Structure 1
């Protein structure tokens, strides 16, 4: 199974934290990391917004092909991985099927988490992955209650 990530899950550290909650064993993290294939990709007809007062973004699908969001295609996810990711994303998002342009030139069908909560929670400013990695990721990873699966 595959998903297109456009936010915090583009970070392998965040992704592995979600897929292996509570795991600190390097062998498990390394093994899981080897089962996943990540490559850069672009989703046309979408915009990424900053969610007000949060460190994560939202994706809105548009009808304009010139609207584009750069992200990562993640392949090799198991059904249990998808379940964990669904719970991580919560009720603000819904998984939808899309076609993306992958770095290898393929145009695979995959799924993406689309924002379904009220749009007034979104800032017009585009969310910045590099800012997240340098200014927010360490605090997110250190906060043990950020993601606890049910």
Structure 2
């Protein structure tokens, strides 16, 4: 978490929130999602929300057009297996979740 805090910097505040895990994942608009158990997780909240774009974040756009600003230029692009699942031990596991709009 220390490294994530350093990466996010002073523009973000880390907060603990409650979220519901999805027991079934629907389409990219959330249709068909089924919420499951509630968990606590850490999220980074941007301190200057007026500077955010007024649209949903698009992973594919980030991966193909913007990721090179944040990582090595070749990381995660075509002909790369960086997005393939990798085994981790219990000490490396972190729950990543998106706060539910129903909480």
Normalising by structure 2, we get a TM-score of 0.49
Bigger Cα Rg: 2
Higher relative contact order (CA 8 A, sep 6+): 1
Between Structure 1 and Structure 2, which shows a larger proportion of helix residues?
A: 1
